[in-house]
Amino acid sequence: MEIRDKKGAPIQEGDYVYTRYRGGSHEGVVERVVVDNTTAAEEGVVNPPKVMYTDQHGHGVAHNPRTLKVQDK
């Protein structure tokens, strides 16, 4: 299953992603892409697919792929 961002670009582990969030942003390098319910339960997230990464403030983030944009670092 190929996961895509809001512009249709594929998202993979190691990609740098960005999204606007509460007047600021969350951005970071993708650590995991959760695509099934079993893995989602292990990671503590619901409603896969989710893209998981650590943002610029050191917080763990899990976002829906269609809210993200893949960009160059």
pLDDT grade for 73, boundaries at 50, 70 and 90: low
Q: Is the pLDDT of residue 34 over 70?
A: yes
List, in order of start, the domains of the chain with CATH numbers: 16-71 (2.30.30.1060)
* Whole-number pLDDT of residue 22: 87
Nearest to 66 by CA among 5, 15, 7, 2: 5
Asked whether the predicted pLDDT for residue 56 surpasses 80, the reply is yes
pTM above 0.85, yes or no: yes
Rounded to an integer, the average pLDDT of 57-61 is 94
- The percent of residues above 70 in pLDDT, for the chain, comes to 99
For residues 2-29, b (16+ Cβ closer than 10 Å) or e, as one string?
ebebeeeeebeeebebbbeeeeeebbbe
